[in-house]
Chain A
Amino acid sequence: MSRKKTAFAAAFAGAAMAVVPVAAQAAKPIVVGITSEIGTIPGKAIANGATLAAEQINAAGGIDGRPIKLVIEDDHLSTTDAIRSFQRMVRQDHAVAIIGTFVSEVALALEPWAARLHEPYMITGAAANELSEYVHKDFKAHQYIFHAYMPAAYLARAVCDASKATLVDQFHMKTAVVMSEDAAWTKPLDAGYDSCLPKIGLKVLDNIRFAPNTSDFTPIYQKIETLKPNVIIAGWAHVGVQPTVQWAQQKVPVALAGINAQAGSDVFWKATNGATEGVITGSTAAPGVAITPKTLPFTDAYVKKFGYSPAYSAYSTYDAVYALADALKRAKSTKPLPIVHALEQTNMVGTQGQIAFQGAKSKFAHALKYGPDYVTGVALQWQAGQQKCIWPLKLANAKAKFPGFVPVPKS
């Protein structure tokens, strides 16, 4: 190489080196942490929902040209693992926000860390009331936390609203037994059931709580049968397959409704070998039902990418990532407080409804707003292998019907 050429090459390399950091700076990814329970259906759905949202946002140009980079960590349903990975994502990965977990116990353990580390944290599947009550209790210190899902009190309200419109008004049911797994999220849920079910005309005959590791539900069903209720109102998320299968195998002559979170996923039909036929569950959204113009494009893209339909937590996480991206754009900053203030101004169409967060004065500060104008969720029922929407009535694509072994009261 001649001296002239060498000098030219050196100058070019120097110029290139000078340019590269600037270009890298411009496209430096914005890191978002995801903490979840990858081995479970709702946990996997959190990771999937976030992945899909991030890919779509990046394909559309990212956040002012900067792509979102997800760091997905499995907390193995363990609070210790979750806290460690939360700290690591904040300190080593410099995540601007963390999203995830459907386990209230894990979320409750992470909240103090979000407050201490001033890290915006969006909970997208756990439902305990305490999660947003914690934000309300000391708002200034805890404002970094957003409960981007419905608190159990609203879940109970949605179940009661749906039961009134279907079980009571259409099928004249009058009595219920509440049957919930023993977990943090079902305490406020049961309290909500106990207060709202009698108001809609369903007398609560008993309230049964069982350990999440219960393997044989026969004694519980036998006990329920002696009480002769019309419907079992469930509060299940950690369990689902076994009580559903035994309900069908033993032909328990009582309808099964309430919240059976795992039944919100289409994997549930296979996992139960179809025993879920006739089971009603409250869920975030139902396949084929356009709650908003964003719902169906989301489910279609999700099924195309992952090969199965989204569980409830996929909807809430997908919406949370979009809400965060929207907030980051408006905040024009990746600092915690500007992000928090921008998130508080969120008012966007999500897959589950209109997404907006409650203010500091609300008992459920920074939780999703509930109601027909915001988010209510849906009630879906498994009919012939498909999830049909039976409530809200304006969105329903089927009328509730029950398996032959469930007697329906005459009016």
Chain B
Amino acid sequence: MLAIQILIDGFAISTLYALGALGFTLIFGVSGVLNLAHGGLMVIAAMIAWYLDTSLGFGPYVGALAGVAVCLVAALVTYGGIVRPIENSRAVPAHERELFVLTATLLWGVMIQESLSYAFTNSPITVQPLIAGTVSILGVRTPINEIFIAAVAWAVMGALWLLVNRTQVGRRLLAASINPRALTLLGFELDRIYLFVWVIYGLLAGIAGVLLGSFLGSGSDYVPGLTGSAFTIVVLGGLGSVSGTLIAAYIVGYIETVTAYLVSPSLREVPALILLVVVIYMRPQGLLGRR
């Protein structure tokens, strides 16, 4: 019974982790940007979804869609207003650009967190589940919302896989991540590919943010934690590796769940962090990383 509980609970959490971290690793893989405002964007999606639904009464579906849309806009603002100006700046030496982008997105994340706290207070909220009720899976009472979350997350990840592996645009994305210079030589405009990948990222972060908000809640105080867990998963899986991220998300999700059930819920984050330190020490490129 306990094993089934761990299996179900761990699966839902891991899937959400995977979805949340996927966009994060995608923009790193394609454009080399580590976006430390990631958690902030996810929380924006959840807060907007909650606000439209609960405070303005537009219903959970309109709320969820608006949350994703606003998150997409916020992602594009992050790219257009923070990342791109630094990448195009002559004042920033080329070899320091990554560091500047890292610092700028970190500060941008803090600004998002403080603004959310000012607008909505830092009290946590929960996004209304799109489907209410519970079902019994092998004797374990499970909220239908949990199954719905896992299904949506897998559908989105499946769509992403199709996009990357089965479409022309997707191949360009892959090419940009492997050899951006060759792609430019072939006459493709890198800027458009980057913009496209930020659009995908905004959608992924938005969907993950809304779903997470209906499962674990959300709030301005969640911002650093969400960035941190995406970072842990992506580094563990190998920066820029999509399949590595998926595997790492499930490893982290299940280690946390097993710890929460068998040791103590208070210690759930500790073993995954220890594992991260060990991986960085033994295999710095991560489980499936290329560099």
**Contact mask B125-147 → A, CB, 8 Å, 1/0?**
11111001010000001110100
Shortest Cβ distance from B216 into A: residue = A215
Judge whether B33 is part of the interface by a CB distance below 8 angstroms. no
CA distance A327 to B18 in the complex (A): 60
User: Per a CB cutoff under 8 Å, which of A211, A215, A245, A270 touches B54?
Assistant: A270
- Total B residues in contact with A, Cβ cutoff 8 Å: 34
Report yes or no: A222 in contact with B261, Cβ–Cβ below 8 A: yes
User: Per a CB cutoff under 8 Å, which of B127, B143, B225, B260 touches A216?
Assistant: B260
Question: Within 8 Å CB of B243, what residues of A?
Answer: none
Instruction: With both chains docked as a complex, state the minimum distance between the C-beta of A108 and any C-beta of chain B, in angstroms.
Output: 22
Report yes or no: B261 in contact with A267, Cβ–Cβ below 8 A: no
Question: Within 8 Å CB of A251, what residues of B?
Answer: 134, 141
Question: Within 8 Å CB of B217, what residues of A?
Answer: 215, 241-242, 245
Judge whether A272 is part of the interface by a CB distance below 8 angstroms. yes
**Contact mask B249-291 → A, CB, 8 Å, 1/0?**
0000000010011000110100000000000000000000000
**Contact mask B172-213 → A, CB, 8 Å, 1/0?**
000000000000000000000000000000000000000000
Judge whether A275 is part of the interface by a CB distance below 8 angstroms. yes
**Contact mask A242-254 → B, CB, 8 Å, 1/0?**
1001000111000
CA distance A250 to B142 in the complex (A): 7
Question: Within 8 Å CB of A214, what residues of B?
Answer: 265-266, 268
Stretch of A37-45, A117-125, A126-134, A150-158 on the interface side:
A37-45
Query: How many residue-residue contacts, CB under 8 A, span A and B?
Result: 80
Shortest Cβ distance from A216 into B: residue = B216
Report yes or no: B124 in contact with A44, Cβ–Cβ below 8 A: no
Judge whether A372 is part of the interface by a CB distance below 8 angstroms. no
CA distance A138 to B190 in the complex (A): 72
Question: Within 8 Å CB of A296, what residues of B?
Answer: none
Question: Within 8 Å CB of A218, what residues of B?
Answer: 5, 9, 260
Interface size class of A (residues with CB under 8 A): 20 to 34
Shortest Cβ distance from B145 into A: residue = A249
Question: Within 8 Å CB of B143, what residues of A?
Answer: 249-250
Report yes or no: B123 in contact with A241, Cβ–Cβ below 8 A: yes
Question: Within 8 Å CB of A262, what residues of B?
Answer: 123
Report yes or no: A219 in contact with B125, Cβ–Cβ below 8 A: no
Judge whether A217 is part of the interface by a CB distance below 8 angstroms. yes
Question: Within 8 Å CB of A271, what residues of B?
Answer: 123-126
Report yes or no: B216 in contact with A273, Cβ–Cβ below 8 A: no
Instruction: With both chains docked as a complex, state the minimum distance between the C-beta of A226 and any C-beta of chain B, in angstroms.
Output: 9
Instruction: With both chains docked as a complex, state the minimum distance between the C-beta of A32 and any C-beta of chain B, in angstroms.
Output: 24
Q: A211-B266, A242-B217, A250-B141 are contacts. A216–B123 as well, Cβ < 8 Å?
A: no
**Contact mask A56-88 → B, CB, 8 Å, 1/0?**
000000000000000000000000000000000
Chain A interfacial positions (CB closer than 8 Å to B): 39-41, 44, 182, 210-211, 214-220, 222, 241-242, 245, 249-251, 262, 267, 270-273, 275
Chain B interfacial positions (CB closer than 8 Å to A): 2, 5, 9, 13, 50, 53-55, 117, 121-129, 132, 134, 141-143, 145, 216-217, 220, 225, 257, 260-261, 265-266, 268
